[in-house]
Amino acid sequence: MKLYNMEYCPYCVMVREKLDSLGLTYDKIEVPPMQHMRQEVFEVSGQYTVPVLVDEDQVFDDENKIISYLDDKYGK
């Protein structure tokens, strides 16, 4: 699982807290602050904003979608 992230982004913080609360391991990929420099994020998700979560062949590009997905798939 990969999380495209910026440390100070409040939406990214929400996703990281959910991942941590579920005890999930993930690769945290810090993206540049300038959106036009986030080519990898764009290639994965079709957009330049974060957070973006990649879990196997699924890509989520919104914190609410990500959190809902994590709850549904990994929640207890």
DSSP string, 2-41: EEEE-TT-HHHHHHHHHHHHTT---EEEEPPSSGGG-HHH
Fold of 2-74: Glutaredoxin (3.40.30)
Flag whether pLDDT at 58 surpasses 80: yes
What type of residue sits at position 52? V
Peptide bond into 51 cis (omega under 30): yes
Q: Give the model's pLDDT for residue 39.
A: 95
pTM of the model: 0.93
pLDDT in tens, 5-47: 999 999 999 999 999 999 999 999 999 999 999 999 999 999 9
Whether 24 and 76 have beta carbons less than 8 Å apart is answered as: no
Q: What sign results for the dihedral spanned by CA atoms 62, 20, 56, 72? A: negative
Mean pLDDT of 45-50: 96
